[in-house]
Amino acid sequence: MARKINLNADMAEGYGAYDIGNDDGMLSVVQSANVACGFHAGDPNVMARVLRDAAEKGVSIGAHPGFNDLWGFGRRQIQMPLHEIENIMAYQIGALQGMASAAGTSVTHVKPHGALNNMASVDADLADAIARSVRAVDPSLILVAIAGTELDRAGHALGLPVASEVYADRTYADDGNLSSRKLPNAMINDPAHSVAQVMQMVKDGVVTTLGGKQMPVNAHTICVHGDEPTGVDVARAVTAALAEAGLEVVPLPDVPLG
């Protein structure tokens, strides 16, 4: 039986008259959508549109909650007590669940956005708060985390299903984190380069960092970015390469975790 793997992309990141990304294009090529929930991006109208289109195309739905900071697109660190973090998580996941119900679909995973995700990678208490909030809303929700982070640890500790995520179009720093967006080579926009990185991850279980280190990775799901003009091309090339290598790309709930 073919090994199963998933491609995910962040979506519904527009707001009112503002548009970012390429939701239509990405919905045609990935199998799972991380949907912004209105705090850092994603008003109810753009959320509804993505949910309806995702339902039609069999794309599975995840909540992509962030800090309450539309101006900063959720990329600014905000200091908040842990119980407030739990509250903004539950609120956003629930909002998407309500809209998903109205669209005849359901939410099956959660992936924090931006600064909230970055902070949860290294802050154990924050990671625990996020895992607690996901379990409190629905313990069957899959938590998406980078293997080896505090969020990954917290999800497993609370018994959540945890999907390990790797990036097709982001480079890695020697410390194992994604390289900073401020660096010129943070993004990989060449499909061939992305394919090479993904194939190395999937076949060899390692990624080559910017400093040349071979770092072990674990890949249940592969993230591609729709706000890059090259996003759809990268996703198509990676999908084709995975298929050629005998892997089956499926919605996240169909990937065996563990």
Q: How far apart are CA 250 and CA 255, in angstroms?
A: 7
Q: Which is nearer to its own copies, 96 or 247 (CB)?
A: 96
Find the helix or strand (DSSP H, E) in which 34 lies: strand 32-36
In angstroms, give the least distance from the CB of 103 to its own copies: 8
Does 214 sit near its own copies (CB under 8 A)? no
Q: Whose structure tokens read 């380069």?
A: 193
Of 130, 133, 135, 95, the C-alpha closest to 113 is 130
Does 205 sit near its own copies (CB under 8 A)? no
Q: Return the range that interacts with its own copies (CB under 8 A); candidates 8-16, 167-175, 236-244, 250-258.
A: 8-16
Q: Return the range that interacts with its own copies (CB under 8 A); candidates 18-26, 214-222, 234-242, 243-251.
A: 18-26
DSSP state, 216? Answer: E
Of 189, 142, 198, the C-alpha closest to 166 is 198
* Token duo for residue 181: 């967006």
Q: Which is nearer to its own copies, 95 or 235 (CB)?
A: 95
Does 164 sit near its own copies (CB under 8 A)? no
Does 68 sit near its own copies (CB under 8 A)? yes
Between residue 84 and residue 103, which ones bind its own copies under the rule CB under 8 A?
A: 84, 86-88, 90-103
Does 176 sit near its own copies (CB under 8 A)? no
Q: Whose structure tokens read 């706000």?
A: 227
Q: Which is nearer to its own copies, 182 or 258 (CB)?
A: 182
* Token duo for residue 205: 């279980």
Does 117 sit near its own copies (CB under 8 A)? no
Between residue 27 and residue 56, which ones bind its own copies under the rule CB under 8 A?
A: 38, 41, 43-45, 47-48
In angstroms, give the least distance from the CB of 242 to its own copies: 30
In angstroms, give the least distance from the CB of 61 to its own copies: 12
User: 164 Cβ partners below 8 Å, 6+ apart?
Assistant: 145, 146, 147, 152, 217, 218, 219, 220, 221
Distances (CA, A) of 164 to 32, 93, 226: 14, 20, 20
Of 143, 207, 220, the C-alpha closest to 175 is 207
Give contact residues for its own copies (rule: CB under 8 A): 14-20, 38, 41, 43-45, 47-48, 68-73, 75-80, 83-84, 86-88, 90-103, 133, 136-138
